Structure 1
């Protein structure tokens, strides 16, 4: 069989029996991913079949169901791969919690790429074994313990096959033991382990010697990076450690002098030691954005945190709540940053405080709006007041309010508005006119309803009267309530009497016309007033009373 590439992914496979790929000696690329019922136990059958093949790429991604129990990758799963020339192995999304001691050592020395992403890996001694992967260049352990939210549909209801066990595992383990001395291997890998367990932690952790890129991002591990040493990793250049929960970095971490690229963004980090970046002297790209490092850089008065990064080309410190930098951060450390002048100009504009300007502009806008609204309210103040009381009375009285607008339903022939200082004159005039012309007039000291608000009394008196008569004197113009009655009567004429003139003035002093406010001059210009003759015995007085009585008694709106 000369099959080189074979994919059976997304097929809902339940079993791949031993011997399925026994004759596929030319097979180079095999993909059985996303068959969630197979479980990782099937890897043993496949690896045993491919031990003498030309296999280069194996994709075992998601052979476990999403919400199943955690798994342990055992030696017998992958031991037969040791004799292959495998280049890339994908074990992502299999809920692998740990690796059996010695398992990584059985991976082939030719392996370049190992993907363990989207599992639930916990801390364990297997971490030390990564150093045995001599040719490994790319290691991916991202998305650990990811919460696969699916809104209670799909995978959450799937039937898992976690409890299945391969009956041949024990036999296979016995056969593997014939070829490899497991006891001697463990003794060689973990010498003097008793001292380690007693608390003597002066150990150097070694990574694969040819590792170039390390992916450790989007993990849900809450952790701190302490001081520790890595074996000299002369080829590791890229570290992707963004979107984790690394809340503090103490360091220093030695042995990573070759690193050129670090993405440490979005880690909720609130502290970075001044010693941490000392060993990263060849760093060209550093992303520390979206953390909480504001106070760290503000307190770095001498620019010590970034003092070793003399080859830095790109630095991202955005979204860190940094309010100020010490001048020495950039003056002392001559970074060859790209477009530094443009960056500084942009930072100056972005970071400038516009608080005062904002407060002033908001104050001006509020003031302008307030003045405009105030002017509008002041201009239409009488209309607003009138409409308020009309609505109030209409709501209170219902249909009775509508009846007040008809001529036959007015309670009074006229409402007399006057200043209290002119009461004596008004009372005599009212008594005389009422008696001689058989009309009913409303005056506040006699006809207002006790216990009712003065504004309600005024509005009701104007509504219930066919006309409103204002006795104009100096005292009238000085009285707030008299002017209130006058303006409310004008609003009544405009908005409730179809524009008919129901308001006129009695002028006791001719000079008072010169003092009438400008907005009332239309009453004077339209001759809507009568002049009092000034004597009680003159014929002119009799004519005045006669005309007043006839005007108030008539139902038309003339004077």
Structure 2
């Protein structure tokens, strides 16, 4: 290599130069005593691309006129960005021609990188929006399966279901009562005592001890109840307890493949805030409490309530 003056690599379909090759050529020249080495890369397919920009800058540094003892010649470079078309050759006559192409590529590659980064950021944001939308849309289903999936974990207050499978197990509660604060007196002084008199096992959210996770306890309690009764009063039906009961009852009905809820009109005739399957206004899923009714009407109400609860409980899964 000490007497090598020209390295002819022309017409070899070379499109790039590896780091090792460039380093070796520089080392050869450095090890010699002021002898120049010319590398002829003319009539090759040197790529004018972002991936090859570092190679082109190295060639420019060693293109005559240059103070380097290593001189590199190229005659064309090929643009290959448009993969749907054949590579487009650009003739390189002078060092300025090559410098112009490199300047163009530097600007293009910078904008290209910015575009890629922008697209990645946009894609990331879009994916996150889609994921967030799906999570929001199915948030109650996700909560339902999360809490029900842990239904074997018995707490110290024994609020969990008896078994994971409702199809082959007894329920822990006969009736779950969902109500707003304005109906609390009716629930505790009239409704719940009467249901207990009928030997129903009743769950109300006021039974939950302070400090227990509300959504967890209510979900498992509905999962372990035969029937959910919604007391329709003049309350806003915007409390957290009501919302949880409405959404989880809907998910539980879907899971069992049958309706499990009953709506009791106490002092309101609005169905706002009820689970979706109850808002379809099934005739057998509603019952009116006769606030100012006679003894006979009150008695008939309790019998009708027992009949409706029994009908829901015995509906085939």
Task: Identify the match of residue 421 of structure 1 among 182, 185, 193.
Answer: 182
Task: Identify the match of residue 530 of structure 1 among 280, 287, 291.
Answer: 287
For the Cα contact (< 8 Å) 1:417–1:470, is it kept in 2? Answer: yes
Cα 1:425–1:522 change in 2 (3 A) is closer
* Higher RCO (C-alpha under 8 Å, 6+ residues apart): 2
Which segments of 5 or more consecutive residues in structure 2 lack a partner in the other structure?
A: 10-20, 47-52, 78-91
- Report the equivalent of 2:200: 439
- Report the equivalent of 1:494: 254
For the Cα contact (< 8 Å) 2:290–2:298, is it kept in 1? Answer: yes
Task: Identify the match of residue 543 of structure 1 among 288, 292, 300.
Answer: 300
- Report the equivalent of 1:261: 39
Q: Distance in 2 between matches of 1:494 and 1:438?
A: 28
Cα 1:248–1:424 change in 2 (3 A) is farther
How does 1:368-383 map onto structure 2 within 5 Å? 368-383=126-141
For the Cα contact (< 8 Å) 1:383–1:491, is it kept in 2? Answer: yes
Deviation at 1:548, TM superposition (A): 1.5
Deviation at 1:530, TM superposition (A): 1.8
Cα 1:545–1:522 change in 2 (3 A) is closer
Which segments of 5 or more consecutive residues in structure 1 lack a partner in the other structure?
A: 1-139, 142-210, 215-235, 264-282, 298-302, 318-333
Q: Distance in 1 between matches of 2:110 and 2:161?
A: 65
Task: Identify the match of residue 24 of structure 2 among 244, 256, 259.
Answer: 244
Deviation at 1:420, TM superposition (A): 2.8
- Report the equivalent of 2:163: 401
Task: Identify the match of residue 520 of structure 1 among 270, 276, 285.
Answer: 276
Cα 1:239–1:457 change in 2 (3 A) is same
For the Cα contact (< 8 Å) 1:430–1:441, is it kept in 2? Answer: no
How does 1:116-265 map onto structure 2 within 5 Å? 140=1, 214=4, 236-238=5-7, 242-244=22-24, 254=34, 256=36, 260-261=38-39
How does 1:13-52 map onto structure 2 within 5 Å? none
Q: Distance in 1 between matches of 2:27 and 2:179?
A: 81
Q: CA RMSD in A?
A: 4.9
Deviation at 1:414, TM superposition (A): 0.4
2:262 alignment partner, SS class: strand
For the Cα contact (< 8 Å) 1:421–1:475, is it kept in 2? Answer: yes
Q: Distance in 2 between matches of 1:246 and 1:482?
A: 78
Cα 1:541–1:360 change in 2 (3 A) is farther
- Report the equivalent of 1:79: none
For the Cα contact (< 8 Å) 2:57–2:102, is it kept in 1? Answer: no
For the Cα contact (< 8 Å) 2:230–2:262, is it kept in 1? Answer: yes
Deviation at 1:474, TM superposition (A): 4.5
Q: What is the TM-score with the length of structure 1 in the denominator?
A: 0.40
Q: Distance in 2 between matches of 1:424 and 1:500?
A: 31
Q: Of the two, which has the highest radius of gyration?
A: 1
Deviation at 1:483, TM superposition (A): 1.2
- Report the equivalent of 2:261: 503
- Report the equivalent of 1:205: none
Cα 1:255–1:401 change in 2 (3 A) is closer
Cα 1:490–1:378 change in 2 (3 A) is same
Q: Distance in 1 between matches of 2:220 and 2:306?
A: 23
Deviation at 1:392, TM superposition (A): 1.2
1:484 alignment partner, SS class: helix
Q: Which has a greater percent of helix?
A: 2
CA deviation map 1:508-554 (0-9, x unaligned): 344422x347x726544223222333425475444323312343356
1:454 aligns with 2:232: no
For the Cα contact (< 8 Å) 1:476–1:482, is it kept in 2? Answer: no
Cα 1:443–1:549 change in 2 (3 A) is same
Task: Identify the match of residue 116 of structure 2 among 332, 347, 358.
Answer: 358
For the Cα contact (< 8 Å) 2:192–2:202, is it kept in 1? Answer: no
CA deviation map 1:127-183 (0-9, x unaligned): xxxxxxxxxxxxx47xxxxxxxxxxxxxxxxxxxxxxxxxxxxxxxxxxxxxxxxxx
CA deviation map 1:392-433 (0-9, x unaligned): 1146699951476546x2232201111233211111232442
For the Cα contact (< 8 Å) 1:437–1:550, is it kept in 2? Answer: no
Deviation at 1:381, TM superposition (A): 1.7
Deviation at 1:350, TM superposition (A): 5.6
